[in-house]
A and B are shown apart, each in its own frame.
Chain A
Amino acid sequence: DARVTQTPRHKVTEMGQEVTMRCQPILGHNTVFWYRQTMMQGLELLAYFRNRAPLDDSGMPKDRFSAEMPDATLATLKIQPSEPRDSAVYFCASGLVRSGMNTGELFFGEGSRLTVL
């Protein structure tokens, strides 16, 4: 059963520490997204990649956040330094876009719950 895998599931850290979240998209998917979910803001798109190239990261605070895809099986989201306001659930999602065929379906991971003290 193909699924998006995220690690860690839970992370508690202190303000100022670096946090790295990892995502393994579904094999064969060529588009990967990072979303942040909070009670106040709901779901926010932070960044997304197509064929490992960043297409849009306008939703991401550039001074402390960075997103990369070192290879097709790994996407990372880093926060350095972390702040209490970064506390949220971070979701990775993947999908497949091919010329002439686009299901429009996102497959979400179970999320990484981050708490910054």
Chain B
Amino acid sequence: GDSVTQMEGPVTLSEEAFLTINCTYTATGYPSLFWYVQYPGEGLQLLLKATKADDKGSNKGFEATYRKETTSFHLEKGSVQVSDSAVYFCALSDVLTTDSWGKFQFGAGTQVVVTP
């Protein structure tokens, strides 16, 4: 079945450092790919998404490009802030088939800790 693998955390880095979180996926169809973020004590919220190959999703300085050839959707940010400390989840879902929409496959999550 469909699955998502992302790098384990925690990832600890200093403010203004470059952040990369690797994510690869396995899917039989043509899924949409997502990054969700979870701040302490809160639910997940959508950070960015890409619906087809070569699409780039971006939001709040974060970017990720849907690479079909490498089945990857790595998350990057050029200069992190302390407020970016959170758990980041890579996910996929077949949103083209409405009957199955919502059956997201989430990665295990990567905790990011940014220190001043």
| Residues of A in contact with B (beta carbons under 8 Å apart) | 4, 31, 33, 42-43, 45, 48, 50, 55-56, 91, 93, 95, 97, 99, 102, 104-111
Inter-chain residue pair count (beta carbon < 8 A): 58
8 Å CB contact of B106 from A42, A105, A110: A42
Check if A108 sits within 8 Å of B109, measured CB to CB.
Answer: no
Check if A99 sits within 8 Å of B98, measured CB to CB.
Answer: yes
What are 27 residue pairs bridging A and B, where the CB atoms are less than 8 Å apart in the complex?
A: A4-B43, A42-B106, A42-B108, A42-B109, A43-B44, A43-B89, A43-B106, A48-B102, A55-B99, A55-B102, A56-B103, A91-B44, A93-B43, A97-B101, A99-B98, A102-B96, A104-B34, A104-B49, A104-B95, A104-B101, A105-B46, A105-B49, A108-B43, A108-B44, A109-B43, A111-B42, A111-B43
Q: Which of B34, B89, B103, B107 has the most CB of A within 10 A?
A: B103
Q: Give bound CA distance, A107 to B43, whole Å.
A: 8
Q: Which of A42, A97, A102, A107 has the most CB of B within 10 A?
A: A102
Check if B46 sits within 8 Å of A106, measured CB to CB.
Answer: yes
Check if B106 sits within 8 Å of A31, measured CB to CB.
Answer: no
Asked whether any CB of chain A lies closer than 8 Å to the CB of B71, the reply is no
Q: Give bound CA distance, A109 to B41, whole Å.
A: 11
Q: Give bound CA distance, A91 to B101, whole Å.
A: 18
> Would you give the 0/1 interface string for B86-116, flagging 1 where the beta carbon is closer than 8 Å to chain A?
0001000101101101111011110000000
